[in-house]
Structure 1
Amino acid sequence: MDRRQFLFSLAACAAAGPALAQNRPIRLIVPFSPGGSTDVIAREIAVLMSKSLNATVVVENRGGAGGLIGAAEVARAAPDGFTLGLATQSTHAVNPIVYKKADYNPLTDFTLLGEIALAPGILLVSDKVPARDLAGFVEYLRGHPDRLTYSSPGTGTIGHIWGEQFKRSTGTSMLHVPYKGASQALADLAAGQVDSTFTSVASAFPYLKGGRVHALAVSWPSRLDMLPEVPTYAEAGWPDNNQPTWYGLVGPAGMPGAARQAIQAAMAAALQADELRKKYLGQGVFPAHSSSEEFAEVIRRDMERVAAISKAANISVD
Structure 2
Amino acid sequence: MCELFAVNSATPVRVNRYLTEFFGHSHANPHGWGVSLRTPAEGMVGDDGVTLWREPLPAYESALAARLLSRPMEARHLQAHIRKATCGTLDVANCHPFLATDVTGRSWTLIHNGILFNEGLLWGYEQREVGQTDSERILLFLIDVIDEAAARQGGRLDFIDTFDVLAGAIVQLGNHNKLNLILDDGAYTYVHTNTSEVTLYAREVTAEEAGIGNTGKVGSDTRDTASASGIIFSTLPLGGENERNAWRPVPRHRLIAYKDGRLRRTSTPHGNVFCEAILDAHRALGDVWDPTAATAAPVTATTAA
| TM-score of the two chains, using structure 2 as the length reference | 0.30
Relative to its length, the structure with more helix (as a share) is: 1
Larger Rg belongs to: 1
| TM-score of the two chains, using structure 1 as the length reference | 0.29
